[in-house]
């Protein structure tokens, strides 16, 4: 079953969905067959109240690997993986604005930089009120804490 709404009615009860935005590194680990990631994502998928979401940024990053350039079977595997997500979220102006705020905050207050794709993915999680699932603690913990958005690293 694909879940697309924030809330779903079941037998007269409103059930709140849990949304999980997967960062590119988690998708790569899954495609590589990492058992820890596969078990974690399997647990999420088994709950019908959960929603797995990707960003178009992740989609672009997955298709930008040099490994797939002349590899149609890998391209097909990546396409199938992307199409299995409940949603692939596009970048809106609001997400772009928040990503800009995140980058400025990092530079001004933390004295470090965050790459634009990572800031866009963090901003997407913020706007979706989704848990960001990644193995990139360095960039995402500070950004998401400021916006009170959940972060989970399934590798640790």
Can you give the pLDDT at residue 50?
95
Q: Is 54 helix (H, G, I), strand (E, B) or coil?
A: strand
Which residues of the chain register pLDDT less than 50? 1-15
**C-beta separation of 125 from 21 below 8 A:** yes
3-class DSSP assignment, residue 1: coil
Strands 50-55 and 87-89, sheet pairing? parallel
Q: Check residue 67 and give its pLDDT.
A: 84
Phi-psi region of 104 (alpha: psi -120 to 50; beta: other; left: phi over 0): alpha
């Amino acid at each position: 079953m694909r879940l697309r709404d924030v809330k779903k009615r079941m037998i007269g009860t409103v059930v709140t969905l849990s949304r999980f935005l997967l960062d590119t590194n988690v998708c790569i680990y899954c495609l590589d067959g990492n058992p820890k990631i596969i078990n974690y994502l399997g647990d999420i998928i088994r709950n019908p109240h959960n929603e797995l979401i990707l960003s178009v940024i992740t989609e672009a990053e997955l298709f930008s690997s040099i490994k797939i350039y002349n590899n149609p079977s890998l391209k097909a595997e990546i396409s199938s993986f992307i199409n299995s997500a409940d949603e692939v979220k596009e970048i809106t102006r609001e997400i772009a604005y928040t990503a800009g705020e995140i980058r400025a905050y990092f530079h001004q207050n933390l004295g470090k930089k965050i790459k634009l794709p990572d800031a866009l993915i963090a901003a997407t999680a913020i706007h979706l009120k989704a848990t960001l699932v990644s193995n990139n603690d360095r960039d995402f913990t500070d950004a998401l804490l400021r916006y009170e958005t959940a972060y989970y690293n399934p590798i640790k």
